[in-house]
Structure 1
């Protein structure tokens, strides 16, 4: 399953290029760019297994990207981490699908993870533009009941997230969609 999730960006590369070309209003049109207000979500439903991988600038979720030094900043980081540790409250999954979380991994320099170094060995850029990566795996007892993914709870919890560029592989095939708070639901 992990191989399938890792193959998703390659499988949808033509769509990614098309979306980047259509995004003339933004300085960073590519899905790989760090753009405040924009998050990326990969979703794969394969049999009874659902995997979700969220990548977002820390600014969208926490409100800042610098290392937390004050007590208030540390409290904010801890609160956001606690929210991310409860994916069933962030991603609207049909209760009838019977999805339960089986695995979770959260990574960010703000959570105390070592930042990745740039190609030139300088990690200063990473401190200026911290990201949060969250990977979730669910087992669903009735995956056929999982008709859509509702991202409204995620937009509500993190209002600085204006849009989510979603790459999805499900029973209907693969698709690339942009979700917003006004249009937060995506069909599998």
Structure 2
């Protein structure tokens, strides 16, 4: 009888874990959007802590490439390669002031279109870019100007920004007409 009493909680725990796994199976996986997928809109999270600037940028692939399907032609593959190359250069893309002396310490790009095994698995592909910059003169990092991002990816019409900096947390919306932010 004591073994049965010990086995019962184990069986219940296993059932609960399986139910929880099944529940999470339908939730977004890494690289999938948590928020609504809206063409023309992107999200930007920034955190400035001392001499480190963390940047997370997420956008529908349509804004960056003009398509969301797996590349079907040489032109599609060229667009994907060009977007990747541009996203791998965050200092210019996000208007980081040269006077701040920032260097990219880490960066990563995620999205089904960058991972061929997953390409074409969704009608609404997202691209996420994450960067960690270390700045030798962080006092010179008073803000960013995303004019280059809007110019490089003109289908991006607005960016929802969440910013944590020396003056606390703030949220704002940037557009091609209003592309600057201050920390």
**Which structure would you say has the larger Rg?**
2
> In the alignment, what sits opposite 1:84?
87
Moved over 6 A (4+): none
Does the alignment pair 1:64 with 2:67?
yes
> In the alignment, what sits opposite 1:6?
none
What TM-score, normalized by structure 1, do the two folds share? 0.76
What TM-score, normalized by structure 2, do the two folds share? 0.78
> In the alignment, what sits opposite 2:155?
160
Q: Of 121, 127, 140, which residue of structure 2 is paired with 1:132?
A: 127
Q: Tell me if the contact between 1:37 and 1:60 (Cα under 8 Å) persists in the aligned partners.
A: yes
Q: Tell me if the contact between 1:102 and 1:137 (Cα under 8 Å) persists in the aligned partners.
A: yes
Gaps of 5+ in 1: 1-30, 116-122
> In the alignment, what sits opposite 2:179?
184
Q: Of 45, 49, 52, which residue of structure 2 is paired with 1:49?
A: 52
Q: Tell me if the contact between 1:107 and 1:113 (Cα under 8 Å) persists in the aligned partners.
A: no
Once residues 40 and 64 of structure 2 are traced to their aligned partners in structure 1, the CA distance between those partners, rounded to angstroms, is 9
SS in 1 for 2:122: helix
SS in 2 for 1:89: helix
Gaps of 5+ in 2: 1-33
Once residues 83 and 97 of structure 1 are traced to their aligned partners in structure 2, the CA distance between those partners, rounded to angstroms, is 21
Q: CA deviation at 1:114?
A: 5.1
SS in 2 for 1:103: strand
Q: Tell me if the contact between 1:101 and 1:137 (Cα under 8 Å) persists in the aligned partners.
A: yes
Once residues 183 and 80 of structure 1 are traced to their aligned partners in structure 2, the CA distance between those partners, rounded to angstroms, is 23
Q: Tell me if the contact between 1:67 and 1:127 (Cα under 8 Å) persists in the aligned partners.
A: no
> In the alignment, what sits opposite 2:141?
146
> In the alignment, what sits opposite 2:28?
none
RMSD: 1.6
Map residues 1-80 of structure 1 onto 2, 5 A cutoff.
32-80=35-83
The structure-2 alpha-carbon separation of the partners of 1:114 and 1:97, relative to structure 1 and needing over 3 Å to count, comes to same
Once residues 74 and 134 of structure 1 are traced to their aligned partners in structure 2, the CA distance between those partners, rounded to angstroms, is 19
Deviations 1:109-154 (A, max 9, x none): 1112654xxxxxxx97x52000000001100011111111111110
Once residues 136 and 84 of structure 2 are traced to their aligned partners in structure 1, the CA distance between those partners, rounded to angstroms, is 27
